[in-house]
Structure 1
Amino acid sequence: MKGMRYPDEFKSEAVRQITERGYSVADVAKNLGISTKSLYKWRQELAGHNPPKMSADINALRQEVSRLNAALRRATEERDILKKAAVYFASQPE
């Protein structure tokens, strides 16, 4: 599709799939039948349109990931303690 012109809505949705939904540039380009070069160019052109919202979303997601990692770490430690206690009590003669 050399020389094809795409509407701005198409471009912004393609870039949104990369920036907000986390798809790779190669995957989006393949799915939409466009070049990765075009996607990189569109992403650069659209980068200044709404960075505050995206950076706030990214910060919120990072905080949530940190919170979930801490909760997982605690649950794993509790599970390990319970496993050790079960082994201990199972080995005790009555």
Structure 2
Amino acid sequence: MRIYTDEIINAICLHIASRKDISPTDVEVQLAWDEQFGYTAEVWVQGRSQYLVEANILEAIEQYLLKQYQRRVFRSQITLDADEEFWADIAD
């Protein structure tokens, strides 16, 4: 299974919204990758910015797959990758 940028962003929005008890539409996300930090996401909530590291992104995807697809996966089964867009491969 593979999910792409939009679903990864949705996963992060839903995850942050549930943690902060706000609407997912109140969360903005920008994904990034660089050699020093790997995969990150900058998240804006109510005018404040925070960065998520890869482990946080994987946690959000893990919860998203459980809630949206009823698939229980572990972080070790999720691989992030990117070229022109981001995607996550989920191993069976």
State if a TM-score over 0.5 links the two structures.
no
Bin of the TM-score, shorter chain as denominator length: under 0.3
Which structure features the higher share of strand residues?
2
Which structure features the higher share of helix residues?
1
Which structure has the bigger radius of gyration? 1
Higher RCO structure (Cα 8 Å, ≥6 apart): 2
